[in-house]
Chains A and B, each alone.
Chain A
Amino acid sequence: MKQNHKKIKIYSEALCNSVDTFETFQNIKVSLNELTALSKKDLTINTFLKSKSVDMSKKMDIFTEAFKEVFDKNLLEVLLVMIENDDMNLLIDVNKSFVVLVKEKLNIAYVEVTSSAEMDENMRNQLSDKLSDITSKKIDINFSTNKDLIGGLKIKIDDMLFDSSLKTKLENAKSKLIGV
Chain B
Amino acid sequence: MDIKTNQIGDLLRDQIKNIDDNVDVNEVGEVLEIGDGVARTSGLGNVMSSELVEFPNNVFGMALNLEEENVGVVLFGDSSLVKEGDTVKRTGKVVEVPVGKELLGRVVNPLGVPMDGKGPIKAKHSLQIERKALGVMQRFPVKEPLQTGLKSIDSMIPIGRGQRELIIGDRQTGKSAIATDTIINQKATHSGDSPVYCIYVAIGQKASTVAKLVGELEANGAMEYTTVVVANASDPAPLQYIAPYSGCAMGEYYRDNGMHGLIVYDDLSKQATAYRQMSLVLRRPPGREAFPGDVFYLHSRLLERSSKLSEDLGSGSLTALPVIETQEGDVSAYIPTNVISITDGQIYLDTNLFNGGVRPAVDVGLSVSRVGGSAQIKAMKKIAGKLRLDLAQFRELEAFAKFASDLDDATAAQITRGRRMVEILKQNQYVPMSTANQVLIIYAASQGYLDDVELESVKDFEVGLLEHFASKSPECIKEIDDTGNIGDDLAEKMNKVIEEFKKSF
Q: Which residues of A contact B (CB under 8 A)?
A: 5, 156, 159-164, 168-169, 172-173, 176-177, 179
Contacts and interface: CB of A to CB of B under 8 A. Distances in A.
Contacts of A163: 23-26
Interface of B: 12, 15-16, 19-21, 23-29, 43-45, 69, 87, 89, 120
Nearest to A176: B19
Contact of B27 (A159, A169, A177, A179): A159
- The secondary-structure label for the interface of chain B is mixed
A160 B24 CA distance: 10
A176 B25 CA distance: 17
B392 to A, nearest CB: 59
Given A172-B19, A179-B120, A162 B28 contact: no
B23 A159 contact: no
A160 B27 contact: yes
Contacts, number: 43
Given A159-B44, A161-B87, A177 B24 contact: no
B45 A169 contact: no
12 contacts: A159-B44, A159-B45, A161-B25, A162-B23, A162-B24, A162-B25, A164-B24, A173-B19, A176-B19, A177-B15, A177-B16, A177-B19
A172 B15 CA distance: 12
Top-8 shortest CB links A-B = A163-B24, A164-B23, A161-B28, A159-B43, A173-B19, A161-B26, A159-B27, A162-B23
With most chain A CB atoms within 10 A of its CB, the pick from B12, B19, B43 is B19
Given A161-B87, A161-B89, A169 B21 contact: yes
Contacts of A164: 23-24
B24 A172 contact: yes
A179 B113 CA distance: 13
A163 B25 CA distance: 6
A155 to B, nearest CB: 9
With most chain B CB atoms within 10 A of its CB, the pick from A161, A164, A168, A176 is A161
Given A169-B21, A173-B19, A177-B15, A160 B26 contact: yes
Contacts of B20: 172
A94 to B, nearest CB: 13
A107 B25 CA distance: 22
A41 to B, nearest CB: 18
A172 B24 CA distance: 9
Contacts of B28: 156, 159-161
